[in-house]
Amino acid sequence: NAGVTQTPKFQVLKTGQSMTLQCAQDMNHEYMSWYRQDPGMGLRLIHYSVGAGITDQGEVPNGYNVSRSTTEDFPLRLLSAAPSQTSVYFCASSYKAGSSYNSPLHFGNGTRLTVT
Amino acid sequence: DQQVKQNSPSLSVQEGRISILNCDYTNSMFDYFLWYKKYPAEGPTFLISISSIKDKNEDGRFTVFLNKSAKHLSLHIVPSQPGDSAVYFCAASSAETSGSRLTFGEGTQLTVNP
């Protein structure tokens, strides 16, 4: 089992460029989410999905889009990159939505994004 | 508005001694709390959790204590080992959002010195 796989590991963008961060899980997890980690701010929820075809906004959704066409994949799209989106991005999944009680999040190893 | 706060950015302890990491929260709707551990260049990994119906949960060297009246939880690691050196994140969720939204603290860097 690969678990949660994120690509790329590193990315440099210029302001205004768009890109997609990929996330795939092979554990048949229903719930998937995206977090960003910034110094002194912990991890903040961007978007999440409780199942294929269903997505919702988290704490800091502006400037990001998501879709969930399959159970396995949950890509995060930056529409027009800004320096404020420089961060480390983590994708996470768990067996069932709302199951933090018995099914903690499994995280990928992150994508380090720099926007110049 | 930081609903989960870890006020100590760093903590340094000697190998074999106890490490105590603290976490405070402000949202009284939180009813489930978790600790994650993160090594550099890796994603966080789940360590231990506690439901609000309990005040203590133990797993080997790791114990989490919850004081609901003070809205405070702590993670005790005893004895501490050099391999425990990592960033520790406290997180909380509520049944109000069906546990689908975890709120994380800022993290505490633990260094265990041999």
pLDDT in tens, A52-106: 999 999 999 999 999 999 999 999 999 999 999 999 999 999 987 665 566 788 9
Is residue B102 within 8 Å of residue A100, measured between CB atoms?
yes
Is residue A50 within 8 Å of residue A31, measured between CB atoms?
yes
Q: With cut-offs at 50, 70 and 90, classify the pLDDT of residue A115.
A: very high
Is residue B111 within 8 Å of residue B87, measured between CB atoms?
no
Q: What is the spatial distance between Cα A52 and Cα A63, in angstroms, rounded to a whole number? A: 22
CA of B2: which chain A residue's CA is closest?
Answer: A41
> Roughly how many angstroms between the first and final C-alpha of chain B, as a whole number?
38
Of B6, B43, B103, the CB nearest to A109: B43
A48–chain B Cβ distance below 8 A for any pair: yes
B67-73: long-range contacts at Cβ-Cβ below 8 A with a sequence spacing of 24 or more? B70/B24, B71/B24, B71/B25, B71/B26, B71/B28, B72/B22, B72/B23, B72/B24, B72/B25, B73/B22, B73/B23, B73/B25, B73/B33
How far does the CA of residue A18 sit from the closest CA of chain B (Å)? 24
Task: Tell me what pLDDT residue A100 has.
Answer: 58
Chain A residues touching residue B104 (CB < 8 angstroms): 35, 42-44
Task: Tell me what pLDDT residue A101 has.
Answer: 61
Helix, coil or strand: residue A38: strand
How far does the CA of residue B57 sit from the closest CA of chain A (Å)? 13
CA nearest neighbour of A37 among A88, A76, A77, A81:
A88
Contact B106 A42 (CB under 8 A): yes
